[in-house]
Structure 1
């Protein structure tokens, strides 16, 4: 307990000739040994200038643009900082949502001016748009995609709160981007372009509910495949590609969403439990 760093070891430490493991061991000792710290030479002026250069950055790092925007919208600072750093708002996902939205506008303008044909031009967009939030959720949370998941799960922002915050951020982002594109659609397609919202909400809630049993990446992938399969089967059985977006189907999505909310609440403790039930 009374051992101190040898002079030769301190010289090698100062000159940078120690192995990384030895550096960690030496610094661990220096942190609690005032006598050894006093022996280590340093330039007082250099230390003062260096610390002045990083003090503000360490104490209050500059918020990211997304976090600053959220703060202006009234989001609490700690939540804005968390969402600003989340993978759910990564450039890749935003580019994907923007690309699909642009595709919808282009498809609607390229097809015939006939109202029914123009409406059918939205089918690819209506099919793909509901699963875009699932991709964001899948890439936002869990040990399979987040290298610091274990550390974050132990914080007050971990677990169900982190997943729900990121899910809301993903869903809201998708809705905003799609809403911005709606006025660009031709003729009577404005309201039709919004028929993806209820399916997206139902699929998002289903992903959260299923994530209490499996990882979000697995649940999102499974539900994406199931959604595409259901759309294809529905089109073959009814002969109508728009059957999954009919008023009856919309009512079904709304009912499913209402049923999934209490299920998610009841199973909220299972998000990070690691248990198979």
Structure 2
């Protein structure tokens, strides 16, 4: 973008003011101007220096000055201070009514929060997560079904991946094109909605795992790092293939790794094979360290390719 990767050069500001900057460069520049006052002042000066903008600003200034000259100020007579009159009685119904501006403010905040959370959290995905968690606890505690924890641990890492796939894209959000075109779109919007997905799924599924009877399966919290790593891998891969295809690759890959060996094993029940496979994938410092390293690597890849998400295809 310029000699300094974080600031706008004079030449770039002039090109932007002349409307000669390609869209892939103009978008990141406009987002940078929201956070950098020095660059905003440089671009503003360049815009004012263009002949077209200078003529428009001169006309506006002349119109404002002319309007100011034609207005005659009206003197305001201030009465001498007197004793303050007694306040008029307020009806009980009016006194008890809550102030409308505060209600509007709270309603506006709730609307913005629900929009930022994304289609998955405010749609059918959240009840589905609650149904999975409560169903697992009900089967184990109420119906006495054995082996529910391995099944929950096999599905848990895929739940936030599915939430990410349902949170971003024209297939999920009718306002996707408008949201993606705002300064808060792109990677920032994806991360906001991903955080909302994780805030719903992580505590619900972990609590459900803790309420299940202890078994030979790994601990209830061992899926957290794999779930985070798979979610970040989905976001990183989405920069190339889109959210839905990335979720299919990461979620399908995880299910294939844990379910295929269990279903094809011939030495015992499938549930035993699933428990053993989960133990290899989740238990121990080596497995957890590998998942942690994968999460850090995917986060670094996201940071390095953040500009690719500003123009992510609306159809993916």
- TM class by shorter chain equals 0.5 to 0.7
CA contact (8 A) 1:103 1:125 kept: no
How far has the Cα of 1:214 moved from its partner? 1.6
Deviations 1:119-140 (A, max 9, x none): x431111111111111111111
Name stretches of at least 5 consecutive residues in structure 1 with no aligned partner: 1-55, 69-76, 113-117
TM-score, normalised on structure 2? 0.56
Q: Paired residue for 1:100, among 129, 132, 148? A: 132
Structure-to-structure mapping, 1:206-217, within 5 angstroms: 206-217=233-244
* Aligned counterpart, 2:157: 130
CA deviation after TM superposition for structure 1 residue 203, in Å: 0.6
2:193 matches 1:166 = yes
Q: CA deviation at 1:101?
A: 0.9
Task: Assess if the C-alpha contact under 8 Å between 2:116 and 2:192 holds in 1.
Answer: yes
**Mapping of residues 39-50 of structure 1, within 5 Å:** none
- Find the aligned partners of 1:167 and 1:234 in 2 and give their Cα distance: 30
Partner residue of 1:249 out of 287, 309, 313: 287
Structure 2 CA distance for partners of 1:251 and 1:212, relative to 1, 3 Å: same
Aligned in 2, Cα 1:199/1:183: closer, same or farther, shift over 3 Å? closer
C-alpha distance in 1 between matches for 2:281 and 2:139: 19
Select which of 237, 248, 264 maps to 2:302: 264
Please give the secondary structure, in 2, of the residue aligned with 1:192: coil
Q: 1:63 aligns with which of 82, 99, 107?
A: 107
Q: Hey, what's the Cα distance between the residues in 2 that align with 1:231 and 1:191?
A: 13
Q: Deviation of residue 221 (structure 1)?
A: 1.7
- Corresponding residue of 1:121: 148
Q: Distance in 1 between matches of 2:287 and 2:138?
A: 26
Q: Give, in angstroms, the shift of residue 210 of structure 1.
A: 0.4
Q: Cα–Cα, structure 1 residues 233 and 180, in superposed 2: closer, same or farther, change >3 Å?
A: closer
Structure 1 residue ranges, 4+ long, deviating more than 6 angstroms after superposition: 188-191
Which of structures 1 and 2 has the bigger CA Rg?
Answer: 2
Select which of 186, 194, 208 maps to 2:213. Answer: 186
Q: Is the 8 A contact 2:218 2:282 kept in 1?
A: no
Write the deviation string for residues 167-210 of structure 1: whole angstroms up to 9, x where unpaired: 01101111122244355333579981222211110110000100
Q: Is the 8 A contact 2:149 2:212 kept in 1?
A: no
Structure 2 gap ranges (5+): 1-99, 268-272
Rounded Cα–Cα distance in structure 1 between residues aligned with 2:261 and 2:288: 14
Q: Aligned-pair distance for 1:91?
A: 3.7
Task: Figure out how many residues of one structure are paired with residues of the other and give that number.
Answer: 201
Shift of 1:156: 1.9
- Mapped partners of 2:312, 2:259: distance in 1: 35
Kindly indicate whether the alpha-carbon contact (under 8 Å) linking 1:88 and 1:169 is maintained by their aligned counterparts in 2: no
Q: Aligned with 1:195: secondary structure? A: coil
